[in-house]
Amino acid sequence: MINNGIGKLFEGVDRWTVLLYVLIVLVGFVSITSASYDDGIASTFSFSHFYMKQLVWIGGAFAAAIIVLLIDASVYHKWAYLLYILGLLLLLSTLVVGREVNGAKAWFEFGSFRVQPVEFAKIATALALARVMSTSTFSINRSGDLFKVGLVICLPLLIIILQNDTGSGIVLASLLFVLYREGLNKWLCIPILLIAVLFIFSFLFTPMTLLVMLILVCTLSEAMMNRVWRSRIIYLASLALGTLVLYLAMFLITPGAMDLYRCLLIITLVSLVGVAVYAFRSNLRNIFIMIGLFLLAMLFVPTTDYIFNSVLKEHQQNRILSFLGLVSDPLGTDYNVNQAKIAIGSGGWFGKGFMQGTQIKYGFVPEKHTDFIFCTVGEEWGFVGTMFVLSLFCLLILRLMRMGERQEEPFGRIYCYCVAAFLLFHLLVNVGMTIGLMPVMGIPLPFVSYGGSSLIAFTIMLFIAVRLDASTRQYYFR
């Protein structure tokens, strides 16, 4: 299980990846120090400071990284299913003995320390997914194999939702990127993305506008995929005519003219389908797929009200409505994001300097050392500093993808892409919510936000990928 001695610890290890990791962790420690320093505590080295606690977690993360590198790479493949089962059991146990924090019952508490099992469950899910998809008989487009993949992803997702930790659960959706990389049919990816878009758009547009938009998306997608330009012209002309009829019908609608509206709607849809079948009679499969997607979308739209009102919690509803600009609550729901944008914007090009951020120092930004740690970077280091940090993350993600592509076995490739997908999703959501481009979800910035669970779990996750890559490079250079 263990390699032969410490001397081989860094044999084949991608040193650029390790360097990027160390730099990002250093950025996190400096940011946490600045965000959490308390003049009221006499000793600089007191463990009452968050940065001192984070220093302990950093030491634990480095130790975990070394242990991961010492373990033989084959162990991660061999134990993938066992680790997955343990991860599910940990998630389930939080429902029984877990502590509720910010409305989510997703933590274990040991004295003054808290552990969030979902962070480690992500590692287990990535390993199990890689194990399932790396079997010699696996085919991503075979329904039975696709069901197995869905089961691996959805089991932890369901438990996380039961914990009321929706933000962490949504992270697993990033694995769709991995499935697409491994050859998942685009017709299975489109409905998933369409559901998310429809859910948001249903709050912004009327049903009639949504209907027209759905027709536009479905028909244009099919038209642009067909290589026969004559067919495209016929299809787009029929689309223009059908859309025109729909808009004319909107002006004719009165309380007593619903039958006319329905007739016009049916005639328009039938005409579109008829022309489409005529134009693409040599490729009916895509036509039926598009029609199916359209009908499923129309069935999904009315359910969004139920999902919003009955499934989502009140604070989640408020965050979505605030993000879409449908409600304004500057001192309530909008407060965190407004203060975060003020802090980042006040940093200018080069920032105010270490521990000189007024928005951070005087406590205007809540959760300034955890979920909103990026505000500290923006205010004290400015635009140049934030771009430096984002560049480090982008380079790390690109290194992971490169490591995945040079794997000899599909297990290593799939796992590396899983890690890259998790990091990318966390980065986009965390940074996006601090600048108002994403709703607030309570997702930490990997290696930077304060917290032992996130730091150690992401370190283990990353260095398993590094270990798998090192094993491949060792074999290659022998």
Q: How does pLDDT run across 151-204, given as a tens digit for each residue?
A: 999 899 888 888 877 778 888 888 988 988 888 876 666 666 666 676 666 666
Q: Per the domain annotation, does 239 fall within a domain?
A: yes
Query: Residue range 103-120: average pLDDT?
Result: 80
75-89, 210-224, 310-324, 463-477: which range is least confident on average?
Answer: 210-224
Task: Compute the distance between CA of residue 216 and CA of residue 223 in angstroms, rounded to an integer.
Answer: 10
Question: Per-residue pLDDT for 444 more than 70?
Answer: yes
Query: Residue range 129-156: average pLDDT?
Result: 88
Phi, psi dihedrals of residue 227, rounded to the nearest 5°: -90, -5
Question: CB of 121 within 8 A of CB of 98?
Answer: no
Q: Which domain covers residue 297, as residue numbers?
A: 190-311
Question: Other C-beta atoms within 10 Å of 13: how many?
Answer: 18
- Burial class from Cβ neighbours inside 10 Å (0-12, 13-18, 19+) for residue 110 reads exposed
| pLDDT of 297 | 62
Q: Per the domain annotation, does 212 fall within a domain?
A: yes
Q: How does pLDDT run across 189-226, given as a tens digit for each residue?
A: 666 666 667 666 666 666 656 665 666 565 555 555 55
| pLDDT of 131 | 94
What is the residue-averaged pLDDT of the chain? 77
277-291, 340-354, 431-445: which range is least confident on average?
Answer: 277-291
Q: How does pLDDT run across 44-67, given as a tens digit for each residue?
A: 777 677 888 889 999 999 999 999
Query: What pLDDT band is residue 427 in, cutting at 50, 70 and 90?
Result: very high
Question: Per-residue pLDDT for 257 more than 50?
Answer: no
Task: Decide which of 217 and 457 is more confident.
Answer: 457
| pLDDT of 132 | 93
Strand-by-strand arrangement of the 104-110 sheet: 99-101, 104-110, 113-115
Q: Per the domain annotation, does 156 fall within a domain?
A: no
Question: Other C-beta atoms within 10 Å of 383: how many?
Answer: 15
Question: CB of 449 within 8 A of CB of 371?
Answer: yes
Q: How does pLDDT run across 66-81, given as a tens digit for each residue?
A: 999 999 888 999 999 9
Q: Which residues contact 154 (CB under 8 A, 6 or more apart)?
A: none
75-84, 269-278, 362-371: which range is least confident on average?
Answer: 269-278
Task: Decide which of 293 and 36 is more confident.
Answer: 36
Q: Per the domain annotation, does 342 fall within a domain?
A: no
Q: Which residues contact 107 (CB under 8 A, 6 or more apart)?
A: 94, 98, 99, 100, 101, 114, 115, 116
Q: Which two tokens stand for residue 255?
A: 């309380």
Query: What pLDDT band is residue 255 in, cutting at 50, 70 and 90?
Result: very low
| pLDDT of 301 | 62
| pLDDT of 332 | 61
| pLDDT of 342 | 85
Phi, psi dihedrals of residue 19, rounded to the nearest 5°: -65, -45
Q: Which two tokens stand for residue 83?
A: 């680790």
Q: Per the domain annotation, does 279 fall within a domain?
A: yes
Query: Residue range 287-306: average pLDDT?
Result: 62
Q: Per the domain annotation, does 305 fall within a domain?
A: yes
| pLDDT of 133 | 92
Q: How many domains does the chain have?
A: 1
| pLDDT of 256 | 47
| pLDDT of 417 | 95
Q: Per the domain annotation, does 328 fall within a domain?
A: no
Q: Which residues contact 125 (CB under 8 A, 6 or more apart)?
A: 84, 87, 152, 153, 156, 172, 175, 418
24-38, 144-158, 463-477: which range is least confident on average?
Answer: 463-477
Q: Give the three-class secondary structure for 366.
A: coil
Q: Per the domain annotation, does 406 fall within a domain?
A: no
Handedness of CA 135, 139, 140, 145 (dihedral sign): negative
Give which of 3, 61, 24 is closest to 463, Cα–Cα: 61
Question: Per-residue pLDDT for 477 more than 50?
Answer: no
Q: What percent of the chain has pLDDT over 90?
A: 26
